[in-house]
């Protein structure tokens, strides 16, 4: 009798983990490549070499010290992607202050909650972005936030004064502070977009995010010759860790195409700055590929990139490789609580691996798939809940030990809430969220499988499948679809006809809803919770 291979894998590596702080790591990069491009803001033309970037980071750091910010103090940052965001990220790390990322889409109620829950002493923010009047909301929230002592708005006199004070400061102070910092100190709080209740603050250390950024960059093959177009928002791990920290730990250039996502500007930035890597969630790549002037952009410099945040449709991946030239594009999977990446495809993985899996476990990490009921590791090929352990697992949710205990068990395994399968070679496929799984008449239905099939319909640009209440079966399937420009209206009958004979009858959507856009989080994840809520009204399900 042969032994059953279990769904467990650990990431071996000849490259050791980094043991330094973010500030020390940046200093080593500056010493190695002082004159290489560090940060480029495409929309404004502002740019810094590593030497210039480090000097400006020091100015912000000294300005913060001058303003009374010390190790362990929480500094909130609220705004879109711009150079000041990145400068503040590294400046707070250099003095041991904890940077609290605030979602650019937050409104007053959420802002107040985060300011109070994290006990933010200083808030650094943009004056406004798109339809958000940040300055107005801050003024309204401030009387209800007793911990908040200082507000500094980019480009306002307070920011300019902070910089001026810092530039006149003594850089020896920073060396003295650096000697008091540990790589295991909390350095960053990222609020996970809670779909129920208030968001929770994932608390991350230098060690967590520096190593995650570094090893993501290692698997992308980054060197000082790389130039990365960072399209996802900085407030999220995708932007500030997989983007910024992957770059600075390798001496690569961080390229900011624009404050918020715009497909044309992203393509223009890649062409103008000869970017070798482009980041985004699948919806961003879909928008770029669908841009009316796509063919006019010279994307020949692209080699790699990262697609993450939600599952990548097969057709989109094929086009990213064929039409954008991103032959080494990687799929990453993870969550804020794990800094974020746990698994990643490699440059030499086949197209099949890159579209049907989220790769293998990252260096120095462990993953396993367990039965959600018993907690026991399942055999390879069987579905269960994905768990991950290692340097990347957060310190915990900020001041919420009971919430932390719900997701990190006594052996320090992070329970992701994602359903997954591991194959015989250790590749992991995400089959859905435990909460997203639809149980129709006793059959477990995984929306991802149906979505992948719907992408093969010639008129479908994007598709999302949810479960809706049903008296007879408990749940029924509903497909929300975005159609290609000029496509005829798609009826439920026509879609069912397309699926018949190709999908099992219980996997064929009963309802079809055509939309221009899906409800999204600011990081580009589809909000299926909101879709399910809206579906009740659309279908009059009470």
Decide if 323 is inside a domain: no
Q: What is the CATH number of the domain that holds 449?
A: 3.30.300.30
| Per-residue model confidence as pLDDT tens digits over 298-338 | 999 999 999 987 778 888 999 999 999 999 999 999 999 99
459 domain residue, yes or no? yes
CB 270 within 8 A of CB 280: no
Q: Which of 206, 235, 257 is the last residue before a domain boundary? A: 206
Domain boundary among 181, 206, 231: 206
Domain extent for 462: 439-539
Let me know if 458 is exposed, middle or buried by CB neighbors in 10 A (0-12, 13-18, 19+).
exposed
- Indicate whether 417 belongs to any domain: no
The residue that leads in pLDDT, 449 or 246, is 246
Give the integer Cα–Cα distance in Å for 539 and 87. Answer: 48
Helix (H, G, I), strand (E, B) or coil at 63: helix
Q: Point out the least confidently predicted range of 201-215, 219-233, 284-298, 462-476.
A: 462-476
Residue 469 maps to a domain: yes
Is 455 inside a domain boundary?
Answer: yes
End-to-end alpha carbon distance in the chain: 54
Q: What is the mean pLDDT of residues 381-397?
A: 97
421 domain-assigned: no
Helix (H, G, I), strand (E, B) or coil at 190: strand
pLDDT tens by residue, 34-58: 999 999 999 999 999 999 999 999 9
Number of domains in the chain: 2
CA–CA distance, 428 with 425 (Å, rounded to integer): 9
β-partners of residue 201 are 191
Residue 419 lies in a domain: no
pLDDT tens column, 445-473:
878 889 989 999 999 999 999 999 988 88
Q: Are 359 and 344 a contacting pair, CB within 8 Å?
A: yes
Q: What is the CATH number of the domain that holds 117?
A: 3.40.50.12780
Three state DSSP letters for 278-333: EEECHHHHHHHHCCCCHHHCCCCCCCEEEECCCCCCHHHHHHHHHCCCCCCCEEEE
The pTM (predicted TM-score) of the whole model is 0.86
- The pLDDT, as a whole number, for residue 195 is 41
Residue 342 predicted with pLDDT over 80: yes
Give the tens place of pLDDT for each residue, 83-102: 999 999 999 999 999 999 99
346 part of a folded domain: no
Q: Which of 156, 185, 206 is the last residue of a domain?
A: 206
The whole-number average pLDDT for the span 103-124 is 93
- Coil, strand or helix: which one is 345? coil
* Structural contact between residues 257 and 265, judged by C-beta atoms closer than 8 angstroms: yes
């Amino acid at each position: 009798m042969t032994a059953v291979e279990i769904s467990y894998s650990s990431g071996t590596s000849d490259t050791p983990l980094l043991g330094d702080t973010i500030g020390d790591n940046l200093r080593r990069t500056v010493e190695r490549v002082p004159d290489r491009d560090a940060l480029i803001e495409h929309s404004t033309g502002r740019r810094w070499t590593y030497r210039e970037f480090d000097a400006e980071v020091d100015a912000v750091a000294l300005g913060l010290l001058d303003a009374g910010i010390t190790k362990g103090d929480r500094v909130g940052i609220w705004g879109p992607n711009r150079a000041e965001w990145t400068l503040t990220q590294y400046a707070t790390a250099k003095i041991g202050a904890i940077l609290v990322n605030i979602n650019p889409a937050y409104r007053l109620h959420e802002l107040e909650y985060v300011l109070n829950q994290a006990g933010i002493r200083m808030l650094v923010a943009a004056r406004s972005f798109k339809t958000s009047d940040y300055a107005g909301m801050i003024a309204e929230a401030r009387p209800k936030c007793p911990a908040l002592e200082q507000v500094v708005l980019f480009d306002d006199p307070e920011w300019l004064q902070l910089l001026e004070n810092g530039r006149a400061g003594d850089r020896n102070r920073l060396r003295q502070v650096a000697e008091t910092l540990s790589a295991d100190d909390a350095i960053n709080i990222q609020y996970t977009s809670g779909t129920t209740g208030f968001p929770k603050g994932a608390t991350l250390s230098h060690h967590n995010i520096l190593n995650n950024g570094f090893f993501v960059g290692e698997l992308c093959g980054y060197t000082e010759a790389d130039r990365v177009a960072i399209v996802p928002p900085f407030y999220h791990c995708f932007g500030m860790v997989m983007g910024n920290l992957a770059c600075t730990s390798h001496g690569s250039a961080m390229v900011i195409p624009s404050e918020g996502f715009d497909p044309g500007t992203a393509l223009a930035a890649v062409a103008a700055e000869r970017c070798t890597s482009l980041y985004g969630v699948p919806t961003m790549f879909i928008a770029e590929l669908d841009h009316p002037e796509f063919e006019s952009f010279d994307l020949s410099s692209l080699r790699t990139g990262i697609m993450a945040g939600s599952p990548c449709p097969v057709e989109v991946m094929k086009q990213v490789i064929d039409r954008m030239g991103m032959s080494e594009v990687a799929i990453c999977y993870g969550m804020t609580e794990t800094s974020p990446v746990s698994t990643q495809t490699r440059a030499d993985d086949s197209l099949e691996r890159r579209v049907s899996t989220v790769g293998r476990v990252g260096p120095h990490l462990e993953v396993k798939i367990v039965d959600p009921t018993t907690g026991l590791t399942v055999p390879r090929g069987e579905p269960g809940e994905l768990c991950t352990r290692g340097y990347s697992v957060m310190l915990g949710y900020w001041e919420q030990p009971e919430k932390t205990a719900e997701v990190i068990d006594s052996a320090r395994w992070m329970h992701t809430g994602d359903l997954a399968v591991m194959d015989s070679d250790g590749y992991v496929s995400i089959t859905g969220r435990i909460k997203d799984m639809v149980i129709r008449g006793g059959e477990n239905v995984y929306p991802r499988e149906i979505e992948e099939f719907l992408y093969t319909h010639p008129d479908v640009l994007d598709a999302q499948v949810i479960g809706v209440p049903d008296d007879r079966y408990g749940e029924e399937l509903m497909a929300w679809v975005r159609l290609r420009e000029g496509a005829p209206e798609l009826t439920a009958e026509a879609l069912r006809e397309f699926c018949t004979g190709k999908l099992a009858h219980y996997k064929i959507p009963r309802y079809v809803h055509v939309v221009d856009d899906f409800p999204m989080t600011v990081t580009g994840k589809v909000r299926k919770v909101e879709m399910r809520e809206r579906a009740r009204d659309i279908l009059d399900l009470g």
